[in-house]
Structure 1
Amino acid sequence: MNTRQCALALAIASALGSAQAQEATSNSSEDAKDYEQIVVTGTPSGTAMRKVDASFAITNLSADAIRKLAPKSTADLFKAVPGVWAESSGGVSGANVFVRGFPSTGDAPFLTVQMEGAPLFQPPTLSFLENSTLFRIDETVAFMEALRGGTNPVVSNGQPGLTTNFMLKEGSEVTEGLFKYSTSDYDLQRVDAVVSGKIDDGLYYMVGGYVSSSPGIRDAGFNAEKGHQFTVNITKELDNGKMNFYTRVTDDHGVWYLPTPLIDGVDNSYTQIGTMNRQASIQYGPDGTTQAYDFGDGRGWDGSVSGGKIQLDLGNDWEFVDRFNYTKGDANTFGLVPNGEPVALSTVADNGSSAVGAVSGNAYSGSTQVQQIGRWVVLKEIESFTNDLAFSKRFDALKLTVGLYNSHFSANDWWSLGNQSYHVVAPGGENLTGIDCNDNLDSCGWNYDINSTGDGRTQALYTAFEYKPMDNLTLDLGLRRENHEIEYTVDEGLDGVVTKSVDYDEDTTSWTAGVNYMLTDNSGVFFRINDGNKMPYFDDFRDNYGNFSNGGDLIFEVDQYELGYKLAGDNYSLYATGFFNESESSNVTQPGAPAVLFVTETKGVEIDANYTFDMGLNINLNATLQDTEITKSDNPDWLGNEVQRQPGWQIRVTPSYDVELAGGNFLTLYGTVSSADDRWSDNGNAVVLEGYTKVDVGAYWEVSENVNLRVSVDNLTDKDGLTEGDPRNPLAPNGRFILPRSVKLSVGYTF
């Protein structure tokens, strides 16, 4: 059997849903060849195929590769994906993820996170919620795939940017498991466990999860990061396919790290929150109702995702797949948000010279640096049910897929933003009395309070045609017709008066077309074009209400062109993709502010390369070079500017070296060097964020057949790189640092 026949056999096995095929897709075997890498994301029916045969840009990371990257959060893992700029400096939740120059002010409007092929939540982003917040990486994850552009406008939720798909481990005939304890130099205490095996003939289980607690990489003086997660995955193998059903319950949150004042005495270990200010009161509504909150709760997810997948071979070249899930929970945000630049206390104190600490009672002199800090409260309850089913039929050289996608989703929000009060500029700096603004919370300037409710429905019919006129040439076409409904009301001011009401019902069409030509069994080229849409969700209507009420449908069109080359061998692979896209979007600097509409164009190239030497040395390279330009804008000062917060180039080099020890055990040394170009803090290109280079290192030691040790050091040189400035006031001297140096140790036992 030749290489291609072997790959096709694996693909057929995956389509039938065998557990063995899933293990192949994870690429976790140490002797797996680069040309044997299998992917399942991006095909209309989730059918497995060789990565080198794919006519789109996709990255796959095995569980072992994820461990070596030692991500601090789910979004931190996305840094390993070419074409993606992920800002994970906000903590365990609340990341900003940018894709291929698509414009964004923050969060992740062009990111979809899937589990087992189904989106966790239909809207890619709501204010204070991006989808990576809903997923925590642990030892139950088998592998992750990341698809950029490609078929995204047609499959899944139709979001045209980046789709990441996390696949869970499954049980097998053998009972096996892992227990792992982790600690760190910032007093992390974490236990992970997973076990899988056989229940009955053809019936298998996997259960696992974690419990974790720490003061945070930036020490807040209390357990600022804590949580737990539990996952069950039940698999049933059938004569003609497979079913699996899972549930994942998560309660995990951490302090929200925000931009800090860029002045002497403040570095990347600084955080506004601490024991003297984590408990505070806010005033809201027309009557100035006062309520206390614990801002140490930060950002996170307290909820569950339950679902499943059914894959069947119906005979006569018919295949059926259904992927579904139900998501429900709370994604709240509590944060101390800087407002403006630091000033001397004497300029704001009532007596012109000093003020007193509200907690300590200490007197602070007039030269003390103080800064307005907003106490922001966002209570967000979400719920969704998603079902994606597809039938496929092969007619000799033609394969036809017809699918129906349905998602019902809702979000109920209660916000109180603003609530500014002057605090001492110091880690966990306390609030002060003797300042009129502080002693009268409603006199400190901007506030924005809302109570909103939103329900939505997305229904799409999609079709895909794949035609092979010859063995080495594949043509494909995908079409998606989508109906998008939103019902949304907002009470701005918390006075019981609805200020904005939306009843939205629009249809749109997206499509993609690709050509894939294989030069040899393990090399080829592809060209793809797609026309997709960024659909409006609840916050889009609130921020763009004026445009909507004047007849705008708020559907932003995204056009993409891709030209790719792929090459894979026994010990090497090279995937290079050139891309060009044009995207419509809007920009809101602060909730409640009017939106600015604009259009951007981006051209660039992504490189994902891997080489393994005979001596046990492996080197992985991923790089992105892109040029962005704002070509149209409601703000004429933006024309010709670059898109904010995305580097012109970034590169990551990840070497690893295996050393065989006496007794046959291994020691693996690995690391990552990542560099990024300068970026602009804002679309006005007024403030530059300097580029930086970050170094991470690690080691993995097989102490025995069952016991292993892993040490990882993040940001070895303790680099003070900035991921963003002040998104609400670009000229204010505030910025968010990358996370400081940290050391983590894990001891594992496998059986």
Structure 2
Amino acid sequence: MRMPRTFLHSSISLAILTLASQAHAQTDAAPAAQAQPADTSGASGVGQTGATRADAVQTELQQVVVTGVATSGGVRKLDSAFSITTATEEQLKQAAPSSTADILKLVPGVYAEATGGQSGANIEVRGFPSGSDSPFVSVQMMGNPIYPVPTLSFFEGSSAFRLDDTIERVEVLRGGPSTIFSNGQPGATMNFILKKGTDTPEGSIRFSTGTGELRRVDLFYGGKIAGDWYGTVGGFYRNTNGVRDAGFPADKGGQLTATLTRKLDGGEVTFYARRTDDKNAFYTGVPLISSNEGRTIGEFPGFDPLTGTLMSGEMRRFTVEAGPGRTLNYDLGDGRGLKATVLGVDFAQTVSGWNVSNKFNYFDGDLNTIAMFTGNNPLAMGAYNATALATHGGTRATATYLDGSPVSDSQQVVQAGLWAVEKQLQSFTDEIRVSREWMKDNTVTIGGYFANYSSDDVWYLGNSHLMTAVPNARLIDVRLNNGVIVSNGGKEGPVNYAPVASYDGSNTALFIANEWKINERIKIDGGIRRERQKLDATVSNLTTGDTDNNPLTVYNNGTSMPTGSNTALTRTDSANSFTIGGNYKLARDASIFARANTGHTFVAFDDLRNAGTQAQVNNRDFLPTPKIQQFEVGFKTATQLYSAYINYFQTKFDGISFQQLLADGTVLYSTSGSKGKGVEFELALRPLRDLTLTLTGNWQDSEYKDNPRTAGKDVQRQPQLQYRFTPSYRIPLGDNELKLYGTYTYIGDRWADQLNEQYLPSYKTVDLGAVFRLGEKIELRVNGTNLSNELGLTEGNSRLTTGGTGPINARPLFGRTWEASVMYRF
């Protein structure tokens, strides 16, 4: 991708010129008193101890959110006319998320399947139909998308972000005005706000240990540099074998983040940079026993579904036969990692009544996937041999381990692909806004959003291996007495899909929004957006062949490989979005709101590749531009005794295309719509001075429409009911304090597929934690998750089209885990 230099220069020139003019104005003069913008960063969280109920309520009443707001100054959360959930640094630590996606368990209306590890989550948003990944969740840092497309094959936005102590808070906006601003996400937007330096220097160092021999250190320091310059630096390094021990580190790597802030008259500019180099194991299904039409899930004999994984040291380093005489080596230890650089500028200033803001972001990273993907359900070795004989002839099959010892016919075995996907992503995004009160209490905002992005892909899918259905599986060789080699070194299937592709995309959007404060009680806002997207793809044409020209080695016959020629594909789309909403104050700290919007999603790179021909790419019935309509009404209030954020929503989807990739490389297509309605709630009760009881969750009724095969079926992967009850109790101990907290989570039953044939039962978990603070310097914390060792499924077998009873592959929750840390603040 070629980043447009004009946009790059213009995005930072305004900040540079302003810095120069500020420096000139202050030469030989005492600094004038500076008008401070609304506090969009808040306290860093360092040194906050002994918070009383009154302190907590006051903080909540004054909380400002910036996501989805037209002007850079933000708006008080209680006065916002949309659904937004916020979490401070302390709330994030109490939640003990296993990954970035797992943070979304704090957000009603969102269900994150975070059991794949640090990366590769599936995330569903209230009534939005999605089959995998996270097409309706955008991940932002400082108000700008890290990568402007929320999901691609083998990439979803949360995979490009790692949580550490440089994060001050997160804001998660659902629907609302997000269809107008930034990348126009109609679903959910996670916006991570970095800590900024303040006049008071502060720092921390935190050591953590836990399940899987976790060893982690987090560092942060921030403060004033000189004059009006402030800075921060921090990051982490971590090494762990994980809950599911594969015999090699599951997560290994680190991250470094820095910010540089310059205070301006009526504003500020912040430069930020982040470098991440992290390797993360990716977990897919494990063998289980399904009974009672999938309503009951039990342990597969000899396999602990809470801690086991099929991955093992024996298969860690595997080979891919990419073509005749071309063998590639890969390491499962590289997993689904992130090696990336993020650079950004966040500028906001008020000049002569004009509010000007510009957010720039540049991302360059490798997000490769070197992982195991389960295929068919478990079966006995004897049954596998019988099928091999029926397919390839012969009268006797011999199955051995790699050391030559025999495999019993009764041994349960599975087939799993060792896949290698190399993915290089690059993007540039820039959003500029100009706002002004053009008449009393009426502010207009005009802006533009520009994005250029690319993805260079090399895939090797299939590569099936035969292995025992036990934790840390052993590979199996199979030979027939007619000379046919069915499995060699465990490899029993060829690479069945090996495209090489380069993609480039660009988006240009213009928007205008207006906010009108009618009186002290009523405020309304609205906006429209016009966006154009252009995609170009160059995809290799494929053929199949025998990599060793030996028909008896059936494991590499029919290998997919590029022909040397390519197909060029292109697509251009345009769409409009709008929003209108309003807020009515019942009292100073209580209000009701209503919001309606229409939005859209565009086709993505993978849609072009899957279409295959320009004629299919141009077919708007085959590849439609989905349209989304949303409506919600809500109530917000906060008092010393309780807080309540409740809203009712309706969603309607038209024309969304689904693709499902099967174990043999086949891609299934379908197009449908959906409709849904539901209630989301965030409730808190403070009956005693140091006791808080919190209940969050949602109920929804969402189903497919427009497609005769799926109409009336429940939208896949989404529970009709989910909730989380979290009590916390603070015990003052003089200058010290002890805080106890826990969460009971209930996730209702779901369907893994559109046809509602793969049933996923409901499950419930219990988490507990405690934090002991010694004065203002030392903090000891311990968290335990899934303490009841609940066997709950987050995903069925996504590479099969039907459900089943008996042995299956599915992805369950992680078993009981614990983590302890000690932090020193300075």
Asked if 1:612 corresponds to 2:686, the answer is yes
Of 760, 774, 782, the residue aligned with 1:689 is: 760
**Equivalent-residue separation in structure 2 for 1:544 and 1:466 (angstroms):** 43
Matches of residues 728-739 of structure 1 in structure 2 within 5 Å? 728-729=799-800, 730-731=802-803, 733-739=808-814
Give the aligned partner of residue 88 of structure 1.
Answer: 114
One-letter amino acid of the structure 2 residue matched with residue 533 of structure 1 = H
Q: Distance in 1 between matches of 2:578 and 2:776?
A: 51
Q: Which residue number in structure 2 is paired with residue 7 of structure 1?
A: none
Whole-angstrom CA distance in 2 between matches of 1:561 and 1:18: 32
Is the partner of 1:276 in helix, strand or coil? Answer: helix
Letter in 2 for 1:344: A
The amino acid across from 2:322 in the alignment is Y
Runs of 4+ in 1 over 6 A off after TM superposition: 25-29, 440-443
- Compared with structure 1, are the counterparts of its residues 109 and 674 closer, same or farther at alpha carbon in structure 2 (3 Å cutoff)? same
Pairing partner for 1:651 from 714, 720, 723: 723
The 1-side partners of 2:118 and 2:729 are apart by 30
For residues 501-650 of structure 1, what are the structure 2 equivalents within 5 Å?
501-545=568-612, 547-552=616-621, 554-584=624-654, 585-590=656-661, 593-633=667-707, 636-650=708-722
1:326-475 map, 5 Å: 326-349=362-385, 352=396, 354-358=398-402, 360-394=403-437, 395-435=439-479, 436-439=485-488, 444=493, 447-475=496-524
Q: Is the 1:152–1:159 contact (alpha carbons within 8 Å) kept by the matching residues of 2? A: yes
| In structure 1, distance between residues paired with 2:521 and 2:284 | 52
Structure 2: distance between partners of 1:187 and 1:26: 28
Change (3 A) 1:345 1:537: same
Taking the aligned partners of 1:352 and 1:147, their CA distance within structure 2 comes to: 62
| Cα displacement (A) at 1:45 | 2.8
Q: Secondary structure at the match of 1:710?
A: strand
The CA distance in 2 between the partners of 1:447 and 1:586, in whole Å, is 23
228-237 or 511-520: bigger deviation = 511-520
| 2:335 maps to 1:298 | yes
Whichever residue aligns with residue 297 of structure 1, its letter is D
Instruction: Decide whether the 8 Å contact of 1:26 with 1:61 is kept in 2.
Output: no
Query: Matched residues in 2 for 1:404 and 1:411: separation?
Result: 24
Partner of 1:234: 260
Alignment partner of 2:530 out of 467, 475, 481: 481
Structure 1 residues 469, 72: closer, same or farther in 2, change over 3 A? same
Secondary structure of 1:726's counterpart equals coil
| Cα distance per residue 1:659-683 (max 9 Å; x no partner) | 011x321100011111011101111
Residue 282 of structure 1 contacts residue 441 of structure 1 at CA under 8 Å; is this kept in 2? Answer: no
TM-score, scaled to structure 2:
0.86
1:311 aligns with 2:348: yes
SS of residue in 1 equivalent to 2:196: coil
Q: Answer yes or no: is the 8 Å Cα contact 2:624–2:657 preserved in 1.
A: no
Q: CA deviation at 1:19?
A: 8.9
1:14-53 alignment runs, 5 A limit: 21-23=40-42, 30=51, 31-32=55-56, 33=58, 34-53=60-79
Aligned residue pairs, count: 731
- Bigger mean CA offset, 133-142 vs 420-429: 420-429
- Equivalent residues in 2 for 1:2-17, closer than 5 Å: none
Q: 3-state SS of the aligned residue for 1:236? A: strand
RMSD: 2.0
Render the CA deviation track for 1:632-653: whole Å, top value 9, x for unaligned. Answer: 12xx331210011110000011
How big is each residue's C-alpha offset from its partner over 1:560-613, in whole Å with a ceiling of 9 and x where there is no partner? 111111112235311111111111322212065142001011111100112233
Q: 1:261 aligns with which of 287, 292, 295?
A: 287
Instruction: Name the amino acid aligned to 1:427.
Output: P
Question: Counterpart in 1 of 2:28?
Answer: none
Please name the residue that 2:180 is paired with.
154
Q: Distance in 2 between matches of 1:727 and 1:288?
A: 33
Correspondences of 1:158-237 after superposition (within 5 Å): 158-237=184-263
Separation in structure 2 between the aligned mates of residue 35 and residue 180 of structure 1, nearest angstrom: 30
Deviation, 1:426, is 1.3
Query: Where does structure 2 lack aligned partners over 5 or more consecutive residues?
Result: 1-33, 289-299, 390-394, 480-484, 543-560
What is the CA deviation profile of residues 472-501 of structure 1, one whole-angstrom value per residue up to 9, with x for unaligned ones?
A: 111211111111010112114342445643
Does the CA contact (< 8 Å) of 2:38 and 2:73 recur in 1? no
* CA–CA separation in structure 2 for the residues paired with 1:176 and 1:288: 58
**Could you tell me how far 1:302 is from its partner in structure 2?**
0.5
Return the offset for 1:521: 1.3
Consecutive unaligned residues in structure 1, runs of 5 or more? 1-14
Match for residue 4 of structure 1? none
TM-score (norm 1): 0.94
User: Does the 8 A contact of 1:206 with 1:233 survive in 2?
Assistant: yes
8 Å Cα contact 1:277/1:428 also seen in 2: no
Change beyond 3 A, Cα 1:574–1:667: same
Mapped partners of 1:441, 1:357: distance in 2? 8
Deviation at 1:363, TM superposition (A): 2.3
C-alpha contact (below 8 Å) 1:686/1:731 kept by paired residues: yes
Deviates more, 1:240-249 or 1:469-478: 469-478
Q: Are the counterparts in 2 of residues 25 and 39 from structure 1 also a CA contact under 8 Å?
A: no
Amino acid at match of 1:738: L
Matched residues in 1 for 2:760 and 2:301: separation? 18
Q: Answer yes or no: is the 8 Å Cα contact 2:477–2:486 preserved in 1.
A: no
Partner amino acid, structure 1, of 2:669? A
- Please tell me the residue identity of whatever aligns with 1:485: K
Deviation of the 1:656 alpha carbon = 1.0
CA distance in 1, matches of 2:240, 2:45: 31
Q: Secondary structure at the match of 1:465?
A: strand
Query: Quick check: 1:500–1:542 contact (8 Å CA) kept in 2?
Result: no
Of 430-439 and 668-677, deviating more is 430-439
Range with greater deviation from structure 2 (592-601 or 376-385): 592-601
1 CA distance for matches of 2:44 and 2:588? 19
Could you tell me which amino acid in structure 1 is paired with residue 608 of structure 2?
A: F
Q: Specify the alignment match of 2:744 in structure 1.
A: 673
Higher Cα Rg, which structure: 2
Corresponding residue for residue 723 of structure 1: 794
Q: Secondary structure at the match of 1:52?
A: helix
CA contact (8 A) 2:461 2:496 kept: yes
Q: Shift of residue 44 of structure 1?
A: 2.2
Q: 1:220 to 1:610 in 2, by over 3 A?
A: same
Change (3 A) 1:659 1:499: same
**SS across alignment from 1:495:** strand
Q: 1:544·1:595 contact (CA, 8 Å) conserved in 2?
A: no
Question: 2:409 and 2:666 mapped to 1: Cα distance?
Answer: 35
Report the CA distance shift for 1:26/1:648 in structure 2 as closer, same or farther (over 3 A): farther
Is the Cα contact below 8 Å between 1:695 and 1:714 reproduced in 2?
yes
Whether the 8 Å CA contact 2:571–2:618 is kept in 1: the answer is no
Q: Is the 8 A contact 1:24 1:38 kept in 2?
A: no
Match of 2:732 among 660, 676, 681: 660
Deviations 1:66-106 (CA, angstroms, capped at 9, x unpaired): 01001110001111101000000000111111001211111
Shift of 1:264: 2.5
CA distance in 2, matches of 1:657, 1:689: 34
Whether 1:749 aligns to 2:821 is: no
